[in-house]
């Protein structure tokens, strides 16, 4: 479990097959083999480490659902260790399970990101979402013509732009997106009740 508060900017160093190597310093402190580290919002397992570097294996699912496979050597990445029970919850609860890849449409301070329209039902004004592993508050949700994409806008302060990848990427760059997991759980819990209400209404009208 993460919070979306980036601890440091690391660097993607290389990839050999499914194994990726990243630089890191802070996230390696008190981390052992088998521990989790979030890279651009994607939960990865630490499988090897050395002085200033660590490695994780990228599964086919990870490569298919995130933009980690598009990283080039030297690209900066957001890094975060899992939250500890006694720690502060500075952002919101983040699983590190990426839902989709979005696209950067405008850079900070007025950040704009386009996401698949299928995720828009989990996005509300002043609600939380994770973009590239950064916990952000949504300023506005705009449904775009064609119905395939939704544009989210955010107000990004200078500090956030400086210490995360959001201030280092250009328009058109892919971004990992994880919507608020609480919204997904609420939807699943309430879905049977909505279906029952619709069926009841249909019976009455029939």
Whether 126 and 171 map to the same domain: the answer is: yes
Q: Is the pLDDT of residue 200 over 60?
A: no
In a domain, 89, yes or no: no
- Residue 84 CB-density burial (10 A; 0-12 exposed, 13-18 middle, 19+ buried): exposed
Judge if 25 and 64 occupy the same domain. Answer: yes
**pTM for the full predicted model:** 0.90
Let me know whether 75 and 107 are in one domain. Answer: no
In a domain, 20, yes or no: yes
Whether 25 maps to a domain, the answer reads yes
Q: What is the pLDDT of residue 183?
A: 85
The pLDDT of residue 195 is 64
Q: Give the C-alpha separation, 52 to 145, whole Å.
A: 46
Structural domain tally of the chain? 2
Show the domain range for 114.
Answer: 100-187
Span 18-29, pLDDT tens digits: 999 999 999 999
Asked if 127 and 174 sit in the same domain, the reply is yes
Report whether pLDDT(11) > 60: yes
Is residue 85 one of the residues assigned to a domain? no
Closest alpha carbon to 135 in 109, 116, 154, 150: 154
Separation CA 191–CA 34 (nearest Å): 36
Spatial separation of the C-alpha atoms in residues 93 and 36, rounded to whole Å: 15
In a domain, 194, yes or no: no
Please tell me whether residues 104 and 73 are part of one structural domain: no
- Is the pLDDT assigned to residue 72 strictly greater than 80? yes
Q: What is the CATH number of the domain that holds 171?
A: 2.40.30.20
pLDDT at site 204: 53
Domain shared by 111 and 176, yes or no? yes
Specify whether 106 is located in the same domain as 43: no
């Amino acid at each position: 479990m993460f919070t979306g508060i980036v601890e440091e900017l690391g660097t993607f160093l290389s990839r050999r097959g499914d194994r990726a190597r990243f630089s890191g310093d802070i996230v390696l402190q008190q981390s052992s083999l088998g521990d989790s580290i979030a890279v651009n919002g994607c939960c990865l397992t630490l499988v090897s480490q050395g002085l200033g570097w660590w490695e994780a294996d990228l599964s086919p699912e990870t490569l298919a659902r995130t933009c980690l496979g598009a990283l080039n050597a030297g690209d900066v990445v957001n890094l975060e260790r899992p939250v500890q029970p006694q720690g502060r919850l500075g952002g919101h609860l983040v699983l590190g399970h990426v839902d989709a890849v979005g696209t950067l449409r405008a850079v900070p301070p007025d950040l704009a990101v386009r996401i698949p329209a299928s995720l828009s039902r989990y996005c509300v004004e002043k609600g939380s979402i994770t973009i590239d592993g950064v916990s952000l508050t949504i300023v506005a949700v705009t449904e775009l013509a064609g119905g395939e994409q939704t544009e989210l806008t955010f107000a990004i302060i200078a500090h956030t732009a400086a210490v995360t990848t959001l201030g280092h990427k250009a328009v058109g760059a892919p971004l990992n997106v994880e919507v608020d997991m609480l919204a997904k759980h609420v939807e699943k819990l309430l879905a049977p009740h909505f279906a029952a209400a619709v069926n009841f209404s249909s019976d009455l009208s029939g």
